[in-house]
């Protein structure tokens, strides 16, 4: 398995532009998570899905952020309009539920998208 795949790896955009980050979870995983990591705040959960349905989006900072999961193999995180304070590394992670399965395998993170808004 190729693991959790994120694209692009790096994104530089101007303030006010729309940014779309993409994630392909591990096949068969039914939970998908979007995280943001900054030096100041560390890793923060933004939103997570179970079976393609958003379960908890309380971590989404503002209405400028939106996430979708149209099918089990793809999710997007969109920022519109982007601002310099959105600059961070955005991680996608997936996990497999099932009691011990989730405990044993834990979460698998992608390599992240480094976003810079200038």
Partner 1 sequence: KNQVEQSPQSLIILEGKNCTLQCNYTVSPFSNLRWYKQDTGRGPVSLTIMTFSENTKSNGRYTATLDADTKQSSLHITASQLSDSASYICVVTHGSSNTGKLIFGQGTTLQVKP
User: Which residues in this chain contact partner 1 in the complex, by CB under 8 A?
Assistant: 4, 42-45, 50, 55-56, 91, 93, 97-99, 102-104, 106-112
Of 74 and 107, which has the nearer Cβ to partner 1?
107
Of 7 and 81, which has the nearer Cβ to partner 1?
7
Min dist. Cβ of residue 11 to partner 1 (A): 14
Min dist. Cβ of residue 80 to partner 1 (A): 25
Of 112 and 117, which has the nearer Cβ to partner 1?
112
- Token representation of residue 66: 């939106």
Q: Where are the beta strands (DSSP E) in the chain?
A: 5-7, 10-13, 19-24, 31-38, 42-50, 53-56, 65-71, 74-79, 88-95, 107-109, 113-117
Min dist. Cβ of residue 81 to partner 1 (A): 27
CB atoms within 10 A of CB 46: 20
Return d(Cα 5, Cα 111) in angstroms, integer: 7
- Token representation of residue 86: 């959105």
Min dist. Cβ of residue 34 to partner 1 (A): 12
């Amino acid at each position: 398995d190729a693991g959790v795949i994120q694209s692009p790896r790096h994104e530089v955009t101007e303030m006010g532009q729309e940014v779309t980050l993409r994630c392909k979870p591990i096949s068969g995983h039914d939970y998908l998570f979007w995280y943001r990591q900054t030096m100041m705040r560390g890793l923060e959960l933004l939103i997570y899905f179970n079976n393609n349905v958003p379960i908890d989006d309380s971590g989404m900072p503002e209405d400028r952020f939106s996430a979708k999961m149209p099918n089990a193999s793809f999710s997007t995180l969109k920022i519109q309009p982007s601002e310099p304070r959105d600059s961070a590394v955005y991680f996608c992670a997936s996990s497999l539920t099932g009691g011990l399965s989730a405990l044993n395998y834990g979460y698998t993170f992608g390599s992240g998208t480094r976003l810079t808004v200038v």
